[in-house]
Copies of this chain bind each other. A is one copy, B any other.
Amino acid sequence: MNLVESLRALLGEAGLLTSDLDAFETDWRKRYRGRALAVARPASTEEVAAVVRLCAEQGVSLVPQGGNTGLVGGSVPDGSGRQIVLSLARMKRVRAIDADNLTLTAEAGCVLQALQEAAAARGLLFPLSLAAEGSCTIGGNLATNAGGTQVLRYGNARELCLGLEVVTASGEIWQGLCGLRKDNTGYDLRDLFIGSEGTLGIVTAATLKLYPRPLAQSTALAACDSLEQAVQLLSLARARAGSGLTGFEVMNAFSLALVRKHFPQLPQPLAASPWTVLLELSDSEGEAHAQALFEGLLETALESGLITDAAVAQSRAQSRAFWHLRESIPLAQSEEGLNIKHDIALPVSAIPGFVAETDAALARAFAGVRFVDFGHLGDGNLHYNVQAPEGVPPAEFLAAHEAAINEIVYDAVGRHGGSISAEHGIGQLKREELAARKDPVALALMRAIKKALDPQGLLNPGRVL
């Protein structure tokens, strides 16, 4: 039997697709279009292991896929037509919730929002939250160590995971599901698989951390004249609110101007200012306590000149509206036309210097260029995006200057001790940048690990390394 026949014998008709594969072959941003030999859709961990063994026997490589919402081309096949896409979508069972232990065990194909809802149904919180949550899967979230809007308090996907079940490159099953907060029995395999983008093994299930649901959430907007002031406001908010501070987002004036232009129906409670900060407090005591905390904090910030204006949301609906402003920036950007995106991280203290220096360097090199700077300042994570000058066709600008702009930005990231991929991963998109910019000793260590765990190079080849 050839591979496709063997896979069909193993998985049945429901478990193998060989036509109409477009949705599996194209990435979400439509930058990458590949061609697969077939899409395997196993329904159990044992079936995943059997698929891997069949592929290993025949030297055929595998591309694991969850919700296929990644931004770096990590989950679509190459153009050879010889790869198998391994979709985890049928493995979507919540296996267990342990309320006393605050853990949830779920299969890789569970959609993130379904997990949030399963936790909420038990009065608990699974705090991972990001734009694609309606279709991304927890397997993909773990494979890419996804971030999102609550990292400041709860950490990335990695910090939310206690244990994994993984199918190795040789088709064995590592049974590493556990609900333990402490476990010092050997090397940290869990964190090695997390963020490896399917190149070291295939995550089939995970045990995740849950939290008590905060009784209240409160949101405020504050206007700052400079990023330096926004950083000082962050320090103040951390000292006052401790880990009650669950969100600290920053938006430059142009980001909000684009929202105003393309979504004029969205109210913007503050007058335009160089930088606007969105703060979120989560409170285990209640709405009144959160509001009082916010008022004290913002009063101090106003008095000490860190902010020029502020608005505290007066209701849940207004909180949502404040977040909606922040979340509308990527959509407003798209309306304005293609831009050149950078998902970067820096030490929080380095961000003001980085932005001033890089804005200036780009403005010198490309007169009239515009900056859509926004992101998770509390995590040191900026979405530092560069828009064509007014009147210049965005696609032409991008084609002509993307490489040069990336070089200026990533060189500055390097000088300021930053990372060229904060939360989106490497995939295909940043593989060459990684090879060029990462510490060579680190790259050699990573290659040695890849070779040790996947000697045939069959798991998601050409991604990351």
Specify which of B172, B189, B442 is in contact with A186 (CB 8 Å cutoff): B442
Q: Contacts A168-B441, A188-B191, A452-B451 given: A417-B212 contact, CB under 8 Å?
A: no
Say yes or no for A35: interface residue by CB 8 A criterion: no
The answer to whether B102 touches A238, judged by C-beta atoms less than 8 angstroms apart, is yes
The answer to whether A348 touches B101, judged by C-beta atoms less than 8 angstroms apart, is yes
Stretch in contact with the other chain, from A87-95, A132-140, A418-426: A418-426
Produce 1/0 per residue, A230-246, CB < 8 A to B. 01101100111111100
The answer to whether A284 touches B244, judged by C-beta atoms less than 8 angstroms apart, is yes
Specify which of B282, B284, B380, B465 is in contact with A181 (CB 8 Å cutoff): B380
Specify which of B98, B187, B349, B465 is in contact with A192 (CB 8 Å cutoff): B187
- Provide a sorted-by-A list of 8 A–B residue pairs whose CB atoms are within 8 angstroms: A98-B349, A100-B235, A102-B238, A184-B421, A185-B434, A186-B426, A186-B446, A192-B449
The answer to whether B284 touches A242, judged by C-beta atoms less than 8 angstroms apart, is yes
Stretch in contact with the other chain, from A24-32, A143-151, A250-258: A143-151
Say yes or no for A445: interface residue by CB 8 A criterion: yes
**How far is B176's CA from A443's CA once the two chains are assembled, in angstroms?**
11
Contacts of A238 in B (CB 8 A): 102, 211-212
Which residues of A, 362-418, contact B by the 8 Å Cβ criterion? Answer: 376, 379-381, 417-418
**How far is B284's CA from A283's CA once the two chains are assembled, in angstroms?**
13
Expressed in whole angstroms, the minimum distance between the Cβ of A235 and any Cβ of chain B is 6
Contacts of A444 in B (CB 8 A): 172
Besides A145-B184, A180-B380, A186-B434, 20 other CB < 8 A contacts? A99-B349, A100-B232, A144-B184, A168-B445, A172-B444, A174-B439, A174-B442, A178-B347, A180-B419, A184-B195, A185-B419, A185-B426, A186-B426, A186-B446, A187-B196, A187-B449, A187-B464, A189-B446, A191-B191, A239-B284
Contact residues on A (Cβ < 8 Å of other chain), bracket: 35 or more
Q: What is the chain B residue whose CB lies nearest that of A380? A: B181
**How far is B234's CA from A235's CA once the two chains are assembled, in angstroms?**
30
Produce 1/0 per residue, A454-465, CB < 8 A to B. 000000000011
Say yes or no for A223: interface residue by CB 8 A criterion: no
Contacts of A168 in B (CB 8 A): 441, 445
**How far is B100's CA from A376's CA once the two chains are assembled, in angstroms?**
15
